[in-house]
Amino acid sequence: MAGSFILDKMTKYTTNPLFILAPMDDVTDTAFRQIVSSCAKPDLCFSEFVNVDGLMSPGRNRLFSKLEQADSEPPLVAHLWGSKPENFLDIADQVASGALAKEIGNLNNFAGIDLNMGCPARAVIKGGICSALIKNHDLAREIIEATRAGNKGRLPLSVKTRLGFEKIDPDWIRFLLGFDLDMLSVHLRTVKEMSLVPAHYEELERIVKERDELSPSTLIIANGDVQSRAQGEELIAKYGIDGVMIGRGVFHDPFVFSPKSPWTSTTKEERLKLFLKHLEIYNEWAKNPDKGVKRLNKYAKIYINGFDGAKELREKLAKANSILQMQEIVSTGV
Ligand SMILES: Cc1cc2nc3c(=O)[nH]c(=O)nc-3n(C[C@H](O)[C@H](O)[C@H](O)COP(=O)(O)O)c2cc1C
């Protein structure tokens, strides 16, 4: 069964922790996930967050690019947000049955369903959703139960959240542990802290203790500031967690999931070739590739970095109007 991936891991998680690529909106699309996977494969990826209310609207197919997956990628969890429990129910059914993956054209079904309860963007908080659910247990409960009703146990169900809203809120994590989730990923900061303070790793001790008491089969995944696989392994060993989720660490090292990343010793040519590969994958995949120039320029700092003339090359790229121009500019450096 496609969705058995996380469940398989659950039976042997102590010796086989999960290393997961975090969801990052407008960043972790299929093209970027393919690049990260070609460097060092994560065990699991999350999609960008996708709105269930939008997926239930007539323009739903405009959101499909956020859920597309190439065959070369690791298993992909559908990472959802929204406001209406009934839409979570319908979309969970479409995800779990494989109907949505089929409609999008993905070869594989999703490996799980994850609910976003951590996004700190002002607009979503104003709408009372995502991280605002930390302060609205009733709606959080309705959303989890509706998703569970639509899923009918077919795929692993998980939540990605933060430690609390204004301050660290143990009740919130305990509340979530009451739902017998398959996995709980915790970005170890409060909503108010955004990403402005170091992750509170020390909170993992309490979270794991409460998991053991309240919901022993829920995998606990730590997220925040992990910059290398070795650092993730240390956290796993120290706190007895089941895995680590890495987001911005890939910006500093696309090989971050590798036990022995070669990134610091890669040459300028190797870095630029990797960027050219990214541009090529994006160009083949995107419906209007040239509309992605601005987006692709945001990745430039990953690859065009750490060598003489990098800043000047990035400045040239910022003026490009097409993927072809970007490819020509990057090629001059190879
Ligand atoms: C550009 C960007 C977009 C993000 N989009 C999402 C998102 O769609 N859903 C989500 O749960 N978290 C999102 N996050 C938060 C990350 O998944 C992660 O929790 C956070 O960056 C902390 O982990 P890190 O220190 O490893 O980056 C985003 C973060 C960044 C930097």
Q: Is 244 in the same domain as 299?
A: no
Residues 239 and 107 in one domain: yes
Residues 147 and 218 in one domain: yes
> Whose CA is closest to atom 21 on ligand 1?
247
Q: Is residue 36 part of a domain?
A: yes
AA letter at 155: L
Give 23 Cα–ligand 1 centroid separation in angstroms: 6
Cα–Cα distance between 185 and 32 in angstroms, integer?
22
Compute, in angstroms, the gap from residue 221 CA to the centroid of ligand 1.
14
Instruction: Specify the ligand 1 atom closest to the Cα of 248.
Output: 27
Other Cβ atoms closer than 10 A to 57? 12
Q: Is residue 257 part of a domain?
A: no
Q: What is residue 333's predicted lDDT score, i.e. its pLDDT? A: 83
pLDDT for the residue numbered 210: 98
pLDDT of residue 5: 55
Write phi, then psi, for 268 (nearest 5 degrees): -55, -45
- Residues lining ligand 1, Cβ inside 6 A: 22-25, 27, 48-49, 116, 118-119, 160, 187, 195, 223-226, 246-249
**Nearest residue (CA) to ligand 1, atom 26:** 247
- In a structure prediction context, what are the per-residue pLDDT tens digits for the chain, which is 334 residues long? 334 555 565 444 444 799 999 999 999 999 999 999 999 999 999 999 999 999 999 999 999 999 999 999 999 999 999 999 999 999 999 999 999 999 999 999 999 999 999 999 999 999 999 999 999 999 999 999 999 999 999 999 999 999 999 999 999 999 999 999 999 999 999 999 999 999 999 999 999 999 999 999 999 999 999 999 999 999 999 999 999 999 999 999 999 999 999 999 999 999 999 999 999 999 999 999 999 999 999 999 999 999 999 999 999 999 999 999 999 999 998 8
Residues 245 and 306 in one domain: no
Distance 187 CA to ligand 1 centre (A): 9
pLDDT value at residue 6: 59
Question: What residues contact residue 51 under an 8 Å CB cut-off, 6+ apart?
Answer: 63, 80, 81, 82
Show the domain range for 226.
Answer: 4-252
In the DSSP assignment, the letter for residue 255 is T
The last residue of a domain, from among 212, 227, 252:
252
Q: Supply the residue whose CA is at minimum distance from atom 15 of ligand 1.
A: 24
Residue 318 shares a structural domain with residue 206: no
User: Ligand 1 center to residue 325 CA distance, Å?
Assistant: 30
Phi, psi at 248, each rounded to 5°? -65, -15
- Which residues carry out catalysis? 119
In-domain check, residue 43: yes
Residue 15 lies in a domain: yes
Answer yes or no: do 45 and 94 share one domain: yes
How many CB atoms are closer than 10 A to CB 210?
Answer: 16
CA of 333 to the centre of ligand 1 (A): 31
Residue 260 covered by a domain? no
Ligand 1 atom 10: the closest Cα is on which residue? Answer: 23
Instruction: Please calculate the CA angle 65-68-70 and round it to the nearest 5 degrees.
Output: 140
State the amino acid at position 43 in one-letter form.
D
Domain count, the chain: 2
Taking alpha carbons only, the member of 251, 293, 304 closest to residue 22 is 251
Residue 10 lies in a domain: yes
Residues 89 and 231 in one domain: yes
Last residue of a domain, one of 209, 227, 252: 252
| For the CA of 49, the nearest atom of ligand 1 | 8
258 touches 323 (CB < 8 A) = no
pLDDT score at 154: 96
Q: Are residues 136 and 211 in the same domain?
A: yes
Q: How many CB atoms lie within 10 A of CB 37?
A: 18
Query: Reduced to 3 states, what is the DSSP secondary structure of residue 284?
Result: helix
Among residues 224, 252, 280, the one where a domain terminates is 252
Closest approach atom of ligand 1 to CA 116:
11
pLDDT for 12 equals 41
Distance between CA 165 and CA 160 in Å, rounded?
Answer: 14
Helix spans in the chain (H): 4-10, 30-39, 52-55, 85-97, 99-104, 122-126, 137-151, 170-177, 203-214, 229-239, 249-252, 268-285, 293-303, 310-317, 323-332
Domain at 88, CATH number: 3.20.20.70
Q: Is residue 261 part of a domain?
A: no
Q: Do 16 and 92 belong together in one domain?
A: yes
Same domain, yes or no, for 244 and 168? yes
Q: Is residue 258 part of a domain?
A: no
Probe residue for ligand 1, chosen from 226, 248, 298 as the CB with the greatest number of ligand atoms within 8 Å: 248
pTM of the model: 0.96
- The residue contributing the CA closest to ligand 1 atom 19 is 187
Residue 265 CA to residue 244 CA, distance in Å, equals 25
Q: Answer yes or no: do 99 and 223 share one domain.
A: yes
> Are residue 314 and residue 213 in the same domain, yes or no?
no
